[in-house]
Amino acid sequence: MKKILIAVVISALPAFAFAQQNNIGSCGWGAKLFDGQSGVVPQVLAVTTNGTSGNQTFGITTGTSGCTQDGVVKSTWKTAMFIDGNKDRLARDMSIGNGETLDSLAHLIGVREEDRATFGRTMQANVSVIFPSGSTTDDSVVALKQVLRSDRELAQYAASI
């Protein structure tokens, strides 16, 4: 019986502190900084303050940690993280009007097949608006939302950002 008890207690121990320290939960302190605020701007700021484009690894089964839950990105963060993690490639694909990174963004915000061509053209025409500066993506999510909203066909997708 004692053996069983020991087993159960040990199995339920939280991961060693060590593991948590080293598996950066991505948006860690950034998320805390903007804790309780919703909306795109705090999200993006939170992501950028922690620089998701680096070598983050997300611990599996470490519970909630910044913008990840057990190693996967929470759905509310998906778009902001994708844009921040792919900013150079995404800006490049937008300037061309197509490409893998742009396709993935379109998929992420649910752009239907029949609207993809319009989406590509609109992104190409607005690359300088969505990426107003070369160095940060702080305003890119907001700008992307604006660009979508002001297009008649694409306005329906603005809400999913």
Partner 1 sequence: MPLGVFFGRMSFRARPWWAFLCFLCLLAPFGASASTYLDELIGRSRELRLSERRDWNRLMHYASNLITPGVHGLADARRFYLAPDGKADPQSELEATLAAFFSDIQETDKEQNPQCAFIARYAWLDRQLKFDPARLPRQPCRRFSEWRATLNPQGVTLIFPSAHVNNPSSMYGHTLLRIDAKDQDEKTRLLAYAINYAANTDETNGIAFAINGLFGGYPGMFSMMPYYLKVREYNDMENRDIWEYELDLSPEEIDRLLMHVWELGPIYFDYYFFDENCSYYLLELLEAARPDLDLTGDFRWWAIPSDTVREVVKQKGLVRKTVYRPSNATVIHHRLELMNGEEQAFVSSLSRGRASAQDPGFAALSPPVQARVLEVSHDYLSYLRATGRSPVEQPEELARKLLVERSRIGASASDPPVPVPEVRPDQGHGTSRIGLGGGRRDGANFVELRVRPTYHDLMDPDAGYVRGAQIEFFDFAVRDYSGGMGARVEDITPLSIVSISPRNEFFQPLSWKIDVGWARRRLSSGDEPLVFGVHGGPGLAWTVPDTLRSKTLVYAFLESTLQADTRLENNYALGIGPSIGALIDFTDRWRAEPYAREQSFFAGDTDTAWSVGLRQRYTLDRDWALRLDLSRERQEKQSWNTVLLSLHHYF
The nearest distance, CB 33 to partner 1, in angstroms, is 20
Q: Is 159 in the site for partner 1 (CB under 8 A)?
A: no
For residue 45, the one-letter residue type is L
Q: How far apart are CA 161 and CA 43, in angstroms?
A: 11
For residue 160, CA distances in Å to 82, 106, 110, 124 come to 14, 11, 8, 20
- Tell me the CB-side half-sphere exposure of residue 72, using CA atoms within 13 A: 3
Which of 91, 109, 147, 161 forms a contact with partner 1 (CB under 8 A)? 91
Distance of CA 117 to the CA centre of its chain: 24
Q: Is position 137 an interface residue for partner 1 (rule: CB under 8 A)?
A: no
Shortest distance, position 69 Cβ to partner 1, whole Å: 7
Residues near partner 1, by CB under 8 A: 1-16, 18-19, 22-23, 52-53, 55-64, 69-73, 75, 81-82, 85-86, 88-89, 91-92, 94-97, 100-101, 103-104, 107-108, 124-125, 127-128, 131, 133-135
